[in-house]
Amino acid sequence: MDTFQGRLLVGLMFLMVLLTACNRQQSADSEANDVSLAAAGTLDESMTIKAPVAERRAHILEAHGLQRNDPYYWLRDDQREAADVLAYLEVENQYTDQLTASHAELGEQLYQELIARIPGDDASVPYQDRGFWYARQYQQGKELPIHVRWSQSDTEPQGEPEVLLDENQLKGELEFYQIGDYDVSADGRWLAWTEDTISRGIHRLKFRDLHAQVEHAEVIEMVSSEVLFANDNHTVFYVKLQQDTLIPWQIWRHQLGTEVSHDQLVYQEDDPAYFTSIGRSRDNRYIIAQHISTLTTEIRLLDANQPEQVPQVILPRQQGHEYSVETLGDRVFLLTNDNASNFRVVYASLATIADRGTWQEVVPENTSALISDFAVFREHLVLSVIDNANQLLKVIPLDQAQAGAEQSWEIAADEPAFEMSIDTNPSSDTSRLRYTYESPATPLSWYEVDLNTGERRLLKRSFAGNDYDPAQYKVARLVSTARDGMEVPVTLLYQQGLQPDGSHPMYLLGYGSYGSSYLPGFQRDMLSLVDRGFVFALAHIRGGQEKGRAWYEHGKLLNKKNTFTDFIDVGRDMQARGWAARDKLVGSGRSAGGLLISAVANMAPEIFEILIAGVPFVDVITTMLDESIPLTTFEFDEWGNPKDKEYYDYMLSYSPYDQISAQEYPHLYVTTGLWDPAVQYWEPAKWVAKLRHNKTDNNTLVMRTDMNAGHRGGSGRYERQHDRAREYAFILSLLESEKQLHK
């Protein structure tokens, strides 16, 4: 018998005895519905149990002289091998399957709708890079992309492409497979790529001779996703992961055809609060090494033509100073928050860039809008600007900007809510910009614009279904006033003609952490709800940077609760203004957005009918006190360090796991992944177990664990739609049926 199956079978048999005993002891538990479940995972109608009730085992955690009892701490298993833990997760999955079996037909209908919006044959817009055109293609019925290239022609790719990597073939019988990144040597001969086979962000690095179509013997394990060739065509740079925390921390240099044991360490980051990554400058002159914490950046440049050189530090790290780099000739351009909380652009020579006194300001700070990204070309500077929850692109002639006479223009947008982004532009020696545009009603679209004339052409618009017509939908931008008077932008998508009469279900989505702005892009999956009368709402709450850096500062550390109260206040406002029915409001968020949803579940359960918590970060105190867990040290600047009593007390006051109480909760649909490195599976597992023990309602509470995936779910484009279809079927069955799922 397979070792995993053996552990699982023994664990299930053990857990059946445990759960049955627990249910006898807790006969008054509100989850009273019986579900058939056999010990070995097959159904047996002669055997019934109630909703899974995990054993409570006392486990005392101490900090600052205070004690907390965590009775579900035993659900943590770093190795993912403990039979009783795996069995508990499987029982939860089977319970979820049984409880939702009544709407399986609806789930299948939704799944077919969702995949009908995915084109069978599809391809990205090809881009030119060092003698070739590159693209990503999909074929009918296949889950994963195929990476291809063509020999370069003047205008567009010609003939049949050369296949570089077919992820479908590489996956084989694996449960999960995903290419992290790939790079081709400057002469076009050698291919290096990283692959993840367990969905944990742990990659292996492989090499192939594209001329001979021979894979090299050397394989490098335990690396991050990035890989880059130097300009000599045989030196390769990659980043190793720290063994325990999985933090990318070492840059290594490898020579093709040599033993991995001969690789040379280029740089090691000893501060666990920093992540290390590598990239290539747009002019192909440098390998850029970035060392980034939540609030601080340090960047090194390594001459790609002299890969044996020691990397040069651009600016030594200084707490609170964030910057990014673009190079053009002898000049180094910085996007920096030095004396500019919303960032500004400066430049100097490489030799003097470390001396702030030599900086020439190109673009000053805009106190009301955030410069989120930039790109430098031969004659133009392009800024990505977030202004009141929209992301726009601003073009500045470089000679005018350097002369201090900024004459800029913005790329046009015709909708009240939208998102533009700088797309793949591998070369700085061009006057044409590739960019993307999307809105809640306009599918992701690729454009090319002439930076001299402003003339643009549409290259591709994403498929959204044979019958999709954007004219059938309306996009609106509203403002909700939070309890402290702050104005929170809200983006809506709904069917034309819908009126705010208080009868409509609403799907309210939020995030609000890390300064990550939740911008109003196109979400084609959401059409399955909007077409059924839902209003889709995106709450641009504090904790992101939708209204500049201050919007982030007011939603982090000791201001974190503003994120939660903003979401609650938006929900109440949508109900008061008739956009959401009072008994049909669905709140949703993933990861740190799952923290938002789980905190809201404790703070204002009465305004939500259903809450969807995807891979939720819920056990804030315990996780942030444990520096062995991936990401913990990296995130002290976001949440605070609970070793400091002030932060401990504040974090404890909102930590969703710690704040569960004996009260009524909305219907809850929870997801997690066994191999999740960002939010460990045991956080939602413990949270669900504790909710079952404490909640006083009869509402549905289910958790689904993907036993083969991590933070982002499955690797296939169709596979992921099963997860979304199940979620939507759960929502629709509860809201549209007079008889609710579970009483």
Confidence of residue 495 (pLDDT cuts 50, 70, 90): very high
Q: Do domains 174-321 and 322-465 have the same CATH topology?
A: yes
Pick from 30-44, 76-90, 613-627: least confident: 30-44
Structure tokens, 89: 């997760």
Q: Provide the 10 A C-beta neighbour count for residue 304.
A: 23
Residue 321's pLDDT is what? 97
What crossing angle do the helices spanning 592-603 and 561-576 adopt, rounded to 10°?
70
What architecture does CATH give domain 174-321? 7 Propeller (2.130)
Percentages (nearest 5) of helix, strand, coil residues in the chain: 25, 30, 45
Question: What pLDDT digit, counting tens, does each position of 362-419 carry?
Answer: 999 999 999 999 999 999 999 999 999 999 999 999 987 666 656 889 999 989 999 9
Q: Where are the domains of the chain?
A: 174-321, 322-465, 473-582
Helix (H) or strand (E) holding 489: strand 487-495
Phi and psi dihedrals of 359, rounded to 5?
A: -70, 135
Residue 453 has pLDDT above 90, yes or no: yes
Structure tokens, 533: 């009368």
Distance CA(463)–CA(212), nearest Å, equals: 37
Residue 708's pLDDT is what? 85
Helix (H) or strand (E) holding 637: helix 636-639
Question: What pLDDT digit, counting tens, does each position of 525-544 carry?
Answer: 999 999 999 999 999 999 99
Residue 16 has pLDDT above 90, yes or no: no
Q: What is the mean pLDDT of residues 426-433?
A: 94
Q: What is the mean pLDDT of residues 697-723?
A: 85
Residue 715's pLDDT is what? 65
Distance CA(384)–CA(436), nearest Å, equals: 11
Q: Provide the 10 A C-beta neighbour count for residue 160.
A: 8
421, β-bridge pairs: 436
Question: What pLDDT digit, counting tens, does each position of 111-132 carry?
Answer: 999 999 999 999 999 999 998 9
Phi and psi dihedrals of 280, rounded to 5?
A: -120, 140
Rounded to whole angstroms, the maximal C-alpha distance in the chain is 83
Residues labelled catalytic: 591, 676, 711
CA distances, 222 to each of 200, 202, 245, 264 (Å): 11, 6, 12, 16
Residue 298's pLDDT is what? 98
Confidence of residue 18 (pLDDT cuts 50, 70, 90): very low
**% the chain with pLDDT above 90:** 82
Residue 50's pLDDT is what? 78
What DSSP letter does each residue of 202-263 carry, written as one string? -EEEEEEETTTTEE-S--EEEEEEEEEE-TTSSEEEEEEEPTTT--EEEEEEEETTS-GGG-
Quick one: 322-465 is in which CATH superfamily?
Answer: Prolyl oligopeptidase, N-terminal domain (2.130.10.120)
Residue 455 has pLDDT above 60, yes or no: yes
Distance CA(410)–CA(389), nearest Å, equals: 16
DSSP code at position 742: -
| CA-closest candidate to residue 229, choices 191, 258, 268, 259 | 191
Residues 6+ apart with CB under 8 A from 57: 71, 72, 73, 74
From the number of C-beta atoms within 10 Å of its C-beta (0-12, 13-18, 19+), residue 516 rates as middle
Residue 623 has pLDDT above 70, yes or no: yes
Residue 712's pLDDT is what? 63
Helix, strand or coil for residue 674?
coil
What DSSP letter does each residue of 108-170 carry, written as one string? HHHHHHHHHTS-SSEEPPPEEETTEEEEEEE-TT-SS-EEEEEE--SSS--SSPEEEEEHHHH
Please, what is the average pLDDT of the chain? 90
Residue 207's pLDDT is what? 97
Structure tokens, 584: 């049909």
Residue 714 has pLDDT above 90, yes or no: no
Residue 105 has pLDDT above 70, yes or no: yes
Residues 6+ apart with CB under 8 A from 588: 507, 508, 509, 510, 597, 611, 612, 614
Residue 37's pLDDT is what? 31
Residue 505 has pLDDT above 50, yes or no: yes
What architecture does CATH give domain 473-582? 3-Layer(aba) Sandwich (3.40)
CA distances, 509 to each of 312, 418, 518, 588 (Å): 43, 16, 9, 5
Top pLDDT among 562 and 27 is at 562
Helix, strand or coil for residue 683?
helix
Q: Provide the 10 A C-beta neighbour count for residue 368.
A: 11
Pick from 71-75, 372-376, 705-709: least confident: 705-709
Q: 410-414 — which CB contacts under 8 Å span 24+ positions?
A: 411/435, 411/449, 411/456, 413/437, 413/439
Distance CA(17)–CA(348), nearest Å, equals: 71
Residue 361 has pLDDT above 80, yes or no: yes
Pick from 150-164, 187-201, 246-260, 590-604: least confident: 150-164
| CA-closest candidate to residue 585, choices 551, 554, 612 | 612
Residue 66 has pLDDT above 70, yes or no: yes
Confidence of residue 454 (pLDDT cuts 50, 70, 90): very high
Residue 323 has pLDDT above 80, yes or no: yes
From the number of C-beta atoms within 10 Å of its C-beta (0-12, 13-18, 19+), residue 346 rates as buried
Residue 219 has pLDDT above 80, yes or no: yes
CA distances, 677 to each of 224, 246, 632 (Å): 13, 8, 11
Residue 402's pLDDT is what? 67
Contact 667, 610 (CB under 8 A): yes
Confidence of residue 259 (pLDDT cuts 50, 70, 90): very high
Distance CA(125)–CA(641), nearest Å, equals: 44
What DSSP letter does each residue of 444-467 carry, written as one string? -EEEEEETTT--EEEEEE----TT
Task: Please give the radius of gyration of the chain, using alpha carbons only, rounded to the nearest integer.
Answer: 26
Helices (H), 305-397: none
